[in-house]
Amino acid sequence: MDKFNVSRETVRKAIRRLVVEGLVYRRPGIGTFVAEERKNKLIGISVQQITNYIFPYIVLGAEDEAFRNGYKLLLGNGYEDLSKERQLLIDWKNSGIKGMIVDPVCSALPRSNKELIKSFVEDGIKVVLMNSDFEIDGTSAVILDDLYGGKKAAEVFYENGHQRVAVLYKSTHLPSILRAKGFIQKGKELGFKKIYERAFHPSEFTGIPIDYAHELLSLPSSERPTAVFCYNDITALQFYMVAKRYGLEVPRDISLIGFDDAPIGDFRWQLSTFTHPKEEMGRKAVEILIKMMNGEFSNFKYKIKPEFIMRKSVSKLKEDGKSA
């Protein structure tokens, strides 16, 4: 403060920036020290569900990139549980890990682990966020253009003559909310007669989308949506199963769009959906993290535009209310 004639707050911010850049590190209750010239070759990756859906493929891409660069990958399962994710990340920090890739659970909730991750960055840990971006200074992110995906889904339904539509999404997940937001915004611009919006809080792996599918499909045929956008493919699969129980066929009676191009059996080859470059995202996250740990940059955003895949679950609506 004396040497540069600045305030205590200015010095504090300057030291925080040095921590973010990896030039110094903090030890709570001890002090701030110049970083040693050494490399920690262990990095962590935490995903929402390590055992199913698209997440094993993300990990495969990350592991391959880490191995090629001489790094070891520590795997973490968030279990879609905030407290478990929090403890996992704290344990990693306490073990000395200097770089983390985090696909945060419950990313849309105020009680997410955003503040914890922010404190890690302030302590000099390099963090790459994946799928959800908390926009924390000093973090990088690898994400999809989810807003675009939602808008594109609305355009596809409109081009095929649908006017009563629905969107099913998870209210705790930031990419899900952005996909729904894009769909609703574009739907209003296009002038859909009716947009049913159904948001669920628990994980889709609990089967909760089935309840909303029953609600929508039990409506009178004159009110029932003729096209439904689901925020991911597992939600779309559950909607499809309920439609079959009602004697409705996809796409003859109802059109359906999912998201992620997930490996969900034979239904994958019928479902119109959006690409999710799973392994590429894992590789890119590791590539960016290694560059951050080497001091090359921070605050790098890598956004991928998902590609729409038209398969057999969307068709044009005929005048009698059924698809062609």
**Which sequence spans correspond to the domains of the chain?**
8-144+283-299, 146-275
pTM for the full model? 0.86
The closest of 234, 230, 225, 180 to 204, measured between CA atoms, is 234
Q: CATH homologous superfamily of domain 146-275?
A: Response regulator (3.40.50.2300)
Under-70 pLDDT residues of the chain: 21-22, 36-40, 319-324
Query: Which pLDDT value is given to residue 278?
Result: 97
Query: Which pLDDT value is given to residue 321?
Result: 57
Which residues 6+ apart lie within 8 Å of 110 measured at CB? none
Give the domain 8-144+283-299 fold.
Answer: Rossmann fold (3.40.50)
| Amino acid (1-letter code) at residue 189 | E
Give CA–CA dist 204/170, Å, rounded: 8
Query: Which pLDDT value is given to residue 18?
Result: 84
Query: Which pLDDT value is given to residue 71?
Result: 94
Query: Which pLDDT value is given to residue 304?
Result: 97
Q: Do the domains spanning 8-144+283-299 and 146-275 agree at the CATH topology level? A: yes
What is the per-residue pLDDT across 99-148, written as a single tens digit (0 to 9) for each?
Answer: 999 999 999 999 999 999 999 999 999 999 999 999 999 999 999 999 99
Query: Which pLDDT value is given to residue 30?
Result: 84
